[in-house]
Amino acid sequence: MIGTEELIKISANVRKDIIKMINISGSGHPGGSLSAVELLVALYFKYINFDPKNINNPNRDYFILSKGHACPVLYSVLARFGCLNIDELYTLRKLGSRLQGHPSRNEKIPGIDVSTGSLGYGLSIGLGIAIGIKKQINRNNRIYVLMGDGEQQEGSVWEGIMSAVHYKLNNLCVIIDNNGMQIDGNTKDIMNIEPLADKYKIFGWDTFVIDGHNFDEIDKAYSQFVENAKKKQGKPTAIIAKTVKGKGISFMENVISWHGNAPSEEELKKALNEIDASITHI
Amino acid sequence: MIKIFGNKATRFGFGDALVELGKTNTKIFALGADTAKSVALTNFKKMFPDRFINVGIAENNLVGIASGLAITGFIPFIATYGVFLAGRPWEQIRTSVCYSNLNVKLCGSHSGLMVGYDGATHQILEDISIMRCIPKMKVIYPCDYIETKKSIIACAYSNGPVYVRLGREDTPIFTEEDSFFEIGKANILRNGNDVAVMACGTMVYESLLAAEILAKKGIKIKVINIHTIKPIDEETIINTAKICRAVVTAEEHQLYGGFGSAVIEVLAKNCPVPVEMVGVNDRFGESGNAMDLIIKFGLKSTNIVNAVLKVLKRKK
Q: What is the CATH number of the domain that holds A93?
A: 3.40.50.970
**pLDDT computed for residue A199 by the predictor:** 98
Give B307→chain A minimum CA distance, Å.
44
Give helix then strand counts, H and E, for chain B: 12, 14
Phi-psi region of A22 (alpha: psi -120 to 50; beta: other; left: phi over 0): alpha
User: pLDDT band for position B53 (50/70/90)?
Assistant: very high
* Residues A156, B91: C-beta atoms closer than 8 Å: no
Q: When comparing pLDDT for B42 and A138, which is higher?
A: B42
pTM of the model: 0.97
User: pLDDT band for position B51 (50/70/90)?
Assistant: very high
Task: Tell me what percent of the residues of chain A surpass a pLDDT of 90.
Answer: 96
Tell me the angle at which helices A155-166 and B59-71 cross, rounded to the nearest 10 degrees.
60
Question: What average pLDDT is seen over chain B?
Answer: 97
The mean pLDDT of B308-313, rounded to a whole number, is 98
Give the A:B interface size as CB pairs under 8 Å.
104
- Best of A104, A113, A121 to mutate (most B CBs within 10 Å, chain B): A121
Strand partners, B138: B162
**Residues of B annotated catalytic, as ranges:** 59
Distance of CA A67 to the CA centre of its chain: 8
Least CB–CB distance from B64: residue in A115, A128, A132? A128
Least CB–CB distance from A127: residue in B68, B74, B96? B68
pLDDT tens figures, A158-175: 999 999 999 999 999 999
Give the contacts of B80 (CB within 8 A, at least 6 positions apart).
Answer: B32, B33, B34, B35, B39, B59, B62, B108, B109
Contact B115, B122 (CB under 8 A): yes
Interface list for A 213-272 with B (CB within 8 A): none
Least CB–CB distance from A132: residue in B58, B60, B72? B72
Residue A249 above 90 pLDDT?
yes
pLDDT tens figures, A85-95: 999 999 999 99
Q: Running DSSP on this structure, what letter comes out for residue A183? A: T
Task: Tell me what percent of the residues of chain A surpass a pLDDT of 70.
Answer: 100
- Domain extent listing, chain B: 7-172, 187-314
Element (H, E) at A178: strand A172-178
pLDDT tens figures, B69-110: 999 999 999 999 999 999 999 999 999 999 999 999 999 999
Least CB–CB distance from B95: residue in A117, A128, A133? A117
Total domains, chain A:
1
**pLDDT computed for residue A147 by the predictor:** 98
Amino acid identity, residue B25? N
Cα(B39)–Cα(B166) distance, integer angstroms: 9
Least CB–CB distance from A159: residue in B58, B68, B74? B58
Is B31 part of the contact surface with chain A (CB cutoff 8 Å)? no
* Residues B64, A135: C-beta atoms closer than 8 Å: no
- Best of A60, A131, A140 to mutate (most B CBs within 10 Å, chain B): A131
Is A128 part of the contact surface with chain B (CB cutoff 8 Å)? yes
Fold of the domain spanning B7-172 = Rossmann fold (3.40.50)
Distance of CA A38 to the CA centre of its chain: 9
**pLDDT computed for residue B209 by the predictor:** 98
Question: What average pLDDT is seen over chain A?
Answer: 97
For B183, B205, B210, B215, B277, the CA distances from B190, given in Å and listed in that order, are 20, 11, 11, 11, 19
Q: Running DSSP on this structure, what letter comes out for residue A205? A: -
Give A60→chain B minimum CA distance, Å.
11
The mean pLDDT of B11-31, rounded to a whole number, is 98
- Best of A156, A167, A168, A203 to mutate (most B CBs within 10 Å, chain B): A156
**pLDDT computed for residue B1 by the predictor:** 83
Is B54 part of the contact surface with chain A (CB cutoff 8 Å)? no
* Residues B65, A163: C-beta atoms closer than 8 Å: yes
Task: Tell me what percent of the residues of chain B surpass a pLDDT of 90.
Answer: 99
* Residues B65, A136: C-beta atoms closer than 8 Å: no
Cα(B141)–Cα(B153) distance, integer angstroms: 14
**pLDDT computed for residue A140 by the predictor:** 87
- Torsions phi, psi for A142 (to 5 deg): -110, 150
Residues spanned by the domain of A119: 4-278
Is B75 part of the contact surface with chain A (CB cutoff 8 Å)? no
- Torsions phi, psi for A109 (to 5 deg): -90, 125
* Residues A132, B71: C-beta atoms closer than 8 Å: yes
From chain B, the residues in CB contact with A165 under 8 A are none
Residue A282 above 90 pLDDT?
no
From chain B, the residues in CB contact with A132 under 8 A are 68-69, 71-74
Is A118 part of the contact surface with chain B (CB cutoff 8 Å)? yes
ipTM: 0.96
**pLDDT computed for residue A138 by the predictor:** 84
Is B98 part of the contact surface with chain A (CB cutoff 8 Å)? no
**pLDDT computed for residue A104 by the predictor:** 97
Strand partners, B187: B225
Residue B12 above 90 pLDDT?
yes
pLDDT tens figures, B200-238: 999 999 999 999 999 999 999 999 999 999 999 999 999
From chain A, the residues in CB contact with B68 under 8 A are 114, 124-132
Is B73 part of the contact surface with chain A (CB cutoff 8 Å)? yes
* Residues A124, B92: C-beta atoms closer than 8 Å: yes
Instruction: Provide CATH code, domain B187-314.
Output: 3.40.50.920
Residue A24 above 90 pLDDT?
yes
Tell me the residue length of chain A: 282
**pLDDT computed for residue A1 by the predictor:** 82
Is B74 part of the contact surface with chain A (CB cutoff 8 Å)? yes
Cα(A252)–Cα(A72) distance, integer angstroms: 16
